[in-house]
Amino acid sequence: MTASQLISVSPDELRFHFELEKQTFCDLKVLNNSENYVAFKVKTTSPKKYFVRPNTAVVQPWDSCIIRVTLQAQREYPPDMQCKDKFLLQSTTVNPNTDVDDLPPDTFNKESGNSVEELKLRVAYISPTSPEGSSEDDASKNSQSFDTSSVSRFSSTVPFVQISLNFEVPFLFFILNFVILCI
C-alpha cells in the first residue's frame, strides 16, 4: 500500500467457494486511510452474475465498511474452474458529512476533473473438492454458500398452500350455510 491510497481493501482477491446451484458470498473490508470522507463505488465486468451491497457508500475518516459480494447460483461449471471476472473499486474524497444519496452522478468520472483512485480486484473460484475448499483459512471465513434448491422448493409450495387456503375457507362457509339452510 502506498501512502497516497485513499482506501485499502482486504482481502485483495474475491474468493468464492463454487458449487452448482448454490449462491455464495465474499465479504470485503474497505478501510479509509485518510482524514477525509471518502466515497467509493464498486463496478464489475459481470453485473448480472454478482450482487454487491453496498455498491456505493461514503466512509468516514479512518473508518471502515464491509461490502458483501454475492455470486448468484450458477447452472454450470466454468471451464477449468477459472474465472475472468474482475471488480473495480473507485474512490474519491467528498465533503464532510456527505450522504451517499447526495453524491452527484459524475462523482466517479475522471473526465469531470475529479481525482478518482481505482483498485482492481480479481475473482477466484475454489472447488469444494480442492484442499483450499475444505480448510478453515481466512478465505473460507470470508466466503459462505447457500443452498438455493431449498428456497426454490419453498417458493414453489407456498402458492399452492395459499391457493388451497383461499378456496377451502369459502367452500367451508358454503357447506355450513347449506347445512344450516337444510335444517
Closest CA to 71 of 130, 139, 18: 18
Closest CA to 39 of 59, 68, 54: 59
Of the CATH numbers 3.90.120.10, 3.40.50.2020, 1.10.3720.10, 2.60.40.10, which one belongs to the domain with range 7-126?
Answer: 2.60.40.10
More confident residue, 154 or 29: 29
pLDDT for residue 112 = 84
Cell numbers given for 46: 459481470
Query: Does the pLDDT of residue 152 top 80, yes or no?
Result: no
More confident residue, 167 or 107: 107
SS3 121: strand
Query: Does the pLDDT of residue 141 top 70, yes or no?
Result: no
Q: Are 148 and 73 in contact (CB under 8 A)?
A: yes
Sequence-distant (6+) residues with CB within 8 A of 38 are 6, 7, 32, 58, 59, 91, 92, 93, 94
